[in-house]
């Protein structure tokens, strides 16, 4: 879909060969899509058409390998939209696995291990993610960041996959997103959170610190002491540079 009626800027490839990490567009850093464009369709097709090093930030909320198929409720604005989140090892996955074995040995080991420990469905899911995550790294600027939303089903395998693509040193944070306060799971602790893996392409990444004021209620509750410089609380010193900080 084209956004805002803006003309499509040279979008060359929609049919692609089975290649990993298409470098045919070079390292141009020239963006070849309009700001605020929304595309529908398989993102691998779209990614293949984007120039290398042209994207500042990627946030992914992909399928989680939940072993469920989703459909929007009839009558809702999204009625008709559906996506499958069940995975079986197909001929195409086997072909991808062959290419990955040749060109991305660490990634291949991760996929093989997932197949052995979790099963072929997980391997197929990760193979789908792997080829797209590789392409995403190509389109990311050197100053760019990627945030990958995961749940506990595949999150730990996705961490290994991302390490194999970006290098472990490029991992910045695991952000824990608490989705709900409590669950009445019969046994065990409630599964109440998702995780977001944050990676950067290089150490020279763009970072915009976000500042939000505390609410008055929080300040009154947490900062119960006052002196001439204002409210304060006693706390542990754990800043980096301090012992165990």
Ligand X SMILES: C[S@@+](CC[C@H](N)C(=O)[O-])C[C@H]1O[C@@H](n2cnc3c(N)ncnc32)[C@H](O)[C@@H]1O
Q: Which residues sit at the interface with ligand X, rule CB under 6 A?
A: 42-43, 61-63, 83
* Shortest Cβ 63–ligand X spacing (Å): 5
Cβ closest to ligand X, residue 42 vs residue 102 = 42
* Shortest Cβ 13–ligand X spacing (Å): 16
- What is the distance in angstroms between the CA of the first residue and the CA of the last residue of the chain? 48
Tell me the C-alpha distance between 8 and 131, whole Å. 25
* Shortest Cβ 62–ligand X spacing (Å): 6
Tell me the C-alpha distance between 69 and 88, whole Å. 13
Q: From start to end of the chain, where are the E strands?
A: 55-60, 68-71, 82-85, 140-150, 171-178, 193-200, 225-227, 230-232
Coil, strand, or helix at residue 177? strand
Which DSSP symbol is given to 170?
G
* Shortest Cβ 60–ligand X spacing (Å): 9
Nearest residue to ligand X by CB is 83
Cβ closest to ligand X, residue 39 vs residue 171 = 39
Tell me the C-alpha distance between 209 and 191, whole Å. 30
Cβ closest to ligand X, residue 123 vs residue 170 = 123
In sequence order, what are the residues at sequence separation of 6 or more whose Cβ sits closer than 8 angstroms to the Cβ of residue 22? 13, 16, 48, 135, 138
Cβ closest to ligand X, residue 43 vs residue 113 = 43
* Shortest Cβ 42–ligand X spacing (Å): 4
* Shortest Cβ 186–ligand X spacing (Å): 26
Structure tokens at 197: 């893996």
Cβ closest to ligand X, residue 43 vs residue 143 = 43
CA contacts within 13 A on the Cβ side of 117:
10
Cβ closest to ligand X, residue 135 vs residue 163 = 135
């Amino acid at each position: 879909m084209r956004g805002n009626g803006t003309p499509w800027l040279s979008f060359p490839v929609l049919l692609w060969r089975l290649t990993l990490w298409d470098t045919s567009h070079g390292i141009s850093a020239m963006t070849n899509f309009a700001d605020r464009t929304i595309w529908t369709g398989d993102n691998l097709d779209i990614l293949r058409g984007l120039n290398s090093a042209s994207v500042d930030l990627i946030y992914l909320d992909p399928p989680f390998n939940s072993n469920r198929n989703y459909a929007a409720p009839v009558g809702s604005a999204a009625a008709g939209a559906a996506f499958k989140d069940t995975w079986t090892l197909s001929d195409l996955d086997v072909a991808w696995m062959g290419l990955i074995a040749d060109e991305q040995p660490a990634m291949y080991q991760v996929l093989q291990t997932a197949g052995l420990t979790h099963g072929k469905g997980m391997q197929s899911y990760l193979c789908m993610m792997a080829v797209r995550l590789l392409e995403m790294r190509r389109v990311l600027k050197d100053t760019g960041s990627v945030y990958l939303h995961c749940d506990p089903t595949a999150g730990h395998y996705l961490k290994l996959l991302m390490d194999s693509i970006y290098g472990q040193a490029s991992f910045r944070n695991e952000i824990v997103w608490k989705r709900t306060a409590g669950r009445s799971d019969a046994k065990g602790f409630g599964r109440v959170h998702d995780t977001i893996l944050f990676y950067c392409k290089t150490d020279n990444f763009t970072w915009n610190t976000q500042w939000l004021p505390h609410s008055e209620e929080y300040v009154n509750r947490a900062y119960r002491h006052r002196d001439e410089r204002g409210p304060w609380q006693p706390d542990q010193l754990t800043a980096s540079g301090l012992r165990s900080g």
